Amino acid sequence: MSAAASTSMHTATQSILHQAVEHLASTGAEPLNIERHRDRFQERALRDVTVNSSDSAMALDPGNPTIIGPEMEAQKDHFRRLKFNYLEQEAKRNFLFSITGDEPQGVQPGENEALEQSNAEKKAALKAYKAHIDEMRGETIELAKSNAARNPEIKSRFAEAQALQKSIRDMELELARIKAKHPPENRLTVPQANEILDQQINDIERLTEEISTTGKKVDVAREEVSRTAKEVQRLGREREREEARAKEVREGREAGDTKVDELCQWLSSSIATYRKLMGIRSVRASVDGPQQLLHIEYEVTPAGNSKEPVGVATLVSRFDGATRRLANAQLQGSDMNIEEAVNVAKRGNDVPGLVADVLMRLRPQA
């Protein structure tokens, strides 16, 4: 028994020794735990601390053990702030839950990434919209400038349109008044109005031709009368000379000379013949206050071959005593209107022309 026990004890001792040797061999091949933990600490410190703080003392000197305490305090303070933020957000969540009664939705894995992607797409769309809005704003500014430049012209056209509209309304009212004043049975149709208009045009053309022809005849007669009046003036001067000679003849006849009587008879017969040719019966002068009057009697003969006078027309001319100019004239014994001829003669003080014009006007009745 003792031998068996010693044998088993020896075997157990050998196995323990073998295990101790293997353990020593394994521990000799591996680094110490202190060194391994130090390396792990430095790795985590470099990964977790220096990533967010490039100025950290661990980043400058990660092998200095004296800076571990301040770094740990900084980490603790950071975690305290994180804890406070978490508690604050949790309190807000619970407060909202107590008010609304709805359980707030939790954030699922990948939801933030999807939201970030959606936000990026929306930001891109918003940027495109902003660019489009800027473009529209530029177009709006250009349109505003163009409208501002066109505003005066538009205002003037608007005022003109208002004036035209008012004119149209006035014309419509006037047309309605005319229609009410003139019933349809008294109105002219368009063909009737055109026919009347054509007839009036023909009458105007005919009258225009007659006026032109009459004007030419008047010019010719005025020239003839003017020439005749000059001849009358010349004969008047000759008459004065002959009257002077007649005086001499009378004086000579008293002395027994008959030749002067014969000349006087011849002159008297010549004057009578000339007056008959001119249609003038007599010429005499008179005085009416400050004015001097000249009476010229015309013989009015009928139309045709008859030469016998049917009446007498007297032209009474009034002269201003101070200026010796023609003041007025009127035709007695005839209803002929000579106002126009008198006005023309007054402007030029043309008495012979007036005498000729009256003679020309009386001749168509002869």
Distance CA(63)–CA(39), nearest Å, equals: 10
Q: In whole angstroms, how far apart are CA 79 and each of 57, 66, 73? A: 19, 21, 10
Q: Kindly state the average pLDDT of the residues 231-248.
A: 81
Instruction: Return the amino acid letter for 361.
Output: R
Tokens of 167: 């004119």
Instruction: Return the amino acid letter for 81.
Output: R
Q: Kindly state the average pLDDT of the residues 359-365.
A: 69
Residue with tokens 């600490």: 41
Structure letter (DSSP) for residue 303: S
Per the CB < 8 A criterion, the answer to whether 303 and 366 are in contact is yes
Per the CB < 8 A criterion, the answer to whether 292 and 321 are in contact is yes
Q: List all residues 6 or more positions away from 366 whose beta carbon is below 8 Å from its beta carbon.
A: 279, 300, 301, 302, 303
What would the pLDDT profile of 282-301 be if each residue is shown by its tens digit?
778 888 877 888 888 877 76
C-alpha of 283 from chain center: 72
Per the CB < 8 A criterion, the answer to whether 313 and 322 are in contact is no
Distance CA(155)–CA(146), nearest Å, equals: 14
C-alpha of 163 from chain center: 12
Look at residue 317 in the predicted model and tell me its pLDDT.
87
Distance CA(282)–CA(276), nearest Å, equals: 10
Residue with tokens 């400050």: 290
Tokens of 202: 């023909």
Say what percent of the chain tops pLDDT 70. Answer: 70
What would the pLDDT profile of 36-95 be if each residue is shown by its tens digit?
666 666 666 555 544 444 445 555 566 666 777 778 888 889 999 999 998 998 888 888
Distance CA(151)–CA(143), nearest Å, equals: 12
Please give the full DSSP string across 178-205, using - where no structure is assigned.
Answer: HHHHS-GGGPPPHHHHHHHHHHHHHHHH
Tell me the domain boundaries of the chain: 221-278, 279-366
Distance CA(300)–CA(286), nearest Å, equals: 23
Q: Which residue has the higher pLDDT, 19 or 226?
A: 226
What is the torsional sign of CA 189, 194, 199, 204? Answer: positive
What would the pLDDT profile of 332-358 be if each residue is shown by its tens digit?
888 888 888 888 888 888 888 888 788
- SS3 state at 11: helix
Q: In whole angstroms, how far apart are CA 201 and each of 192, 204, 209, 249, 335? A: 14, 5, 12, 68, 31
CB-count exposure of residue 318 (10 Å: 0-12, 13-18, 19+): middle
Per the CB < 8 A criterion, the answer to whether 295 and 314 are in contact is yes
Distance CA(266)–CA(246), nearest Å, equals: 11
Average pLDDT of the chain?
77
Instruction: Return the amino acid letter for 265.
Output: Q
